[in-house]
Amino acid sequence: MGSASSFRGSPRPRAAAWAPGVSRRRLLRCGTAGAASVLAAGPLTGCASPARAGEPSSLSVWDLFQGGDGLLMDEMIAAVSRGPDGFDVERTILDWGPSYYTKLAMSAAGGRASDVAVLHLSRLAGYAPGGLLDPFDLDLLAEFGVTERDFAPAVWQRTRHRGTVYAIPLDVHPFIVFYDRGAADRAGLLDAGGELAPMGSPEAFLDAGRALAGATGHAGVLFGHVTDTAQSWRQFAALYAQTGAAFTLPDGGPPQIDTDAAVEVVTFMQRLFDGRTNPNNLDYNGAMAAFMDGRGGMVMLGEWELPTLRASGIDLGAAPFPQVFGRPAVYTDSHSFVLPHQDDPDPARRREAHRYVARIVKESLTWAGAGHIPAYRPVLDRPEYRALAPQSSYAAAGEAAVLDPPNWFAGAGSNFQNRMCQPLQSALLGNTSAEKAVRQMIREADSLLRRPNPVA
């Protein structure tokens, strides 16, 4: 998938971290260095479930959280492991990227999967139809205090395949805007409460970019998209959904995409990033560096960059991706818990897996420290969350969440995102027209639709 920034649906890979229950040997064996041997050996070797290879009482959990996120997950696991009803967790940390999903599929197909694993919700359509996941028992979850009404409908509807729930969201991690409060104030863009005021229209957003450029003496809005395999798609997907048009990719094709709406969106993206008020040729790290250096008043990024931006010392504000067309919509994804398929799951262990998921999502105030929006709504209602700044100021993004189309080839780290970004990048750089870019996007989507799901 290319550079590290190509996996921007999740926090960037950082130095590996491991939980107390995970040995260094096990982590290294299951990480990138061990991927080749796992794939070569087949689905019944490699990172076998500790339920079968280790201590029977340990609940085996796979995830992809490293660096700061990994440490927060350590803290959450420690919290649910205390006391007489605590869990004995064997946590395996795998490198984020396509290899993670390959190993997850192999383990499930071989019947040697972990008890619980993390999956980007946008990838569910590639796993549930092929029998690689087992469904959740909603009555059992309700027994442990977690029900459908505890989650935003926009997110919960994507947990289902053919009416059955296969995933429980931990978070919502949206594509948002960060801004320099001082620059935004000088540009007249803050409301009475000191937060970013609504834009309301494409022209208002263009005006905001010009005002921010005047306030900073440099650029207005920064966006790093060059060579990135996800960024342009995230922006397009949010704006396109705001038009109210459907982006439907039925099996076998052809794509059902509103060409006029898509051209309108790409044309607006070209106007916004005109190469003058707002640069059109930045890569991801270049946009981050420019913002932290004060050379721009606003930057479009995933909320997972909050810890990095906060460390810069900027008087940092944040807001959901601005609504400029007809309805609110924010591109997002969700780290969710799934039950990888097991041929003959032990009922007692499966019950413990449900109890574990319920306990962990209730601990997600800790998870919010990295910028992620807890998917479990009762956490959002807690005074401690409302006091988090700037996290609480973009919490509404979860209510207007838009994910990738529910197709097996789409989702975080997928080639679909890459193939959508290539024509969009060309349009933003001025190498092609909005009309030609949209036509290429439709051709790329049609090509993917003609491929059979390899695990269906």
With contact defined as beta carbons under 8 Å apart, do 173 and 333 qualify?
yes
Cross-strand bridge partners of residue 196: 190
Question: pLDDT of 108-156, one tens digit each?
Answer: 988 789 999 999 999 999 999 889 999 999 999 999 999 999 999 999 9
Please report the pLDDT score of residue 37 as a whole number: 26
What residues contact residue 36 under an 8 Å CB cut-off, 6+ apart?
Answer: none
Query: Which residue from 455, 303, 328 is spatially nearest to 388, judged by alpha carbons?
Result: 303
With contact defined as beta carbons under 8 Å apart, do 183 and 297 qualify?
yes
Tokens 């209602």, residue located? 381
Cross-strand bridge partners of residue 60: 90
Please report the pLDDT score of residue 120 as a whole number: 97
Tokens 């606003």, residue located? 298
Tokens 């009803």, residue located? 85
Domains in the chain (CATH in brackets) are 4-170+334-402 (3.40.190.10), 175-332+414-449 (3.40.190.10)
Please report the pLDDT score of residue 57 as a whole number: 61
Please report the pLDDT score of residue 175 as a whole number: 98
Query: Which residue from 349, 335, 351 is spatially nearest to 136, judged by alpha carbons?
Result: 351
Q: How many other CB atoms are there within 10 angstroms of residue 25's CB atom?
A: 8
Tokens 């796979």, residue located? 62
Rounded to an integer, what distance in angstroms lies between the CA atom of residue 24 and that of residue 127? 29
Which amino acid appears at position 442 of this protein? I
Please report the pLDDT score of residue 456 as a whole number: 65
| pTM (predicted TM-score) | 0.87
Please report the pLDDT score of residue 5 as a whole number: 32
Percent of the chain with pLDDT over 70: 87
Question: pLDDT of 367-406, one tens digit each?
Answer: 999 999 999 999 999 999 999 999 999 999 999 999 999 9
List, for the chain, all residue ranges whose pLDDT scores fall below the cut of 70.
1-57, 455-456
Rounded to an integer, what distance in angstroms lies between the CA atom of residue 206 and that of residue 80? 48
Rounded to an integer, what distance in angstroms lies between the CA atom of residue 303 and that of residue 190? 20
Rounded to an integer, what distance in angstroms lies between the CA atom of residue 441 and that of residue 456? 25
Please report the pLDDT score of residue 99 as a whole number: 87
With contact defined as beta carbons under 8 Å apart, do 173 and 373 qualify?
yes
Rounded to an integer, what distance in angstroms lies between the CA atom of residue 433 and that of residue 420? 15
Give the 3-state DSSP-derived string for the chain, with helices as H, strands as E and coil as C: CCCHHHHCCCCCCCCCCCCCCCCHHHHHHHCHHHHHHHHHHCCCCCCCCHHHHCCCCCEEEEECCCHHHHHHHHHHHHHHHCCCCCCCEEEEECCCCHHHHHHHHHHHHCCCCCCEEEEEHHHHHHCCCCCCEECCCHHHHHHCCCCHHHCCHHHHHHHEECCEECCEECEEEEEEEEEEHHHHHHCCCECCCCCECCCCCHHHHHHHHHHHHHHHCCEEEECECCCCCCHHHHHHHHHHHHCCCCEECCCCCCCEECHHHHHHHHHHHHHHCCCCCCCCCECHHHHHHHHHCCCEEEEEEEHHHHHHHHCCCCCEEEEECCCCCCCCCEEEECEEEEEECCCCCCHHHHHHHHHHHHHHHHCHHHHHHHCCEECCHHHHCCHHHHCCCCHHHHHHHHHHEECCCCCCCCCCCCHHHHHHHHHHHHHHCCCCCHHHHHHHHHHHHHHHHCCCCCCC
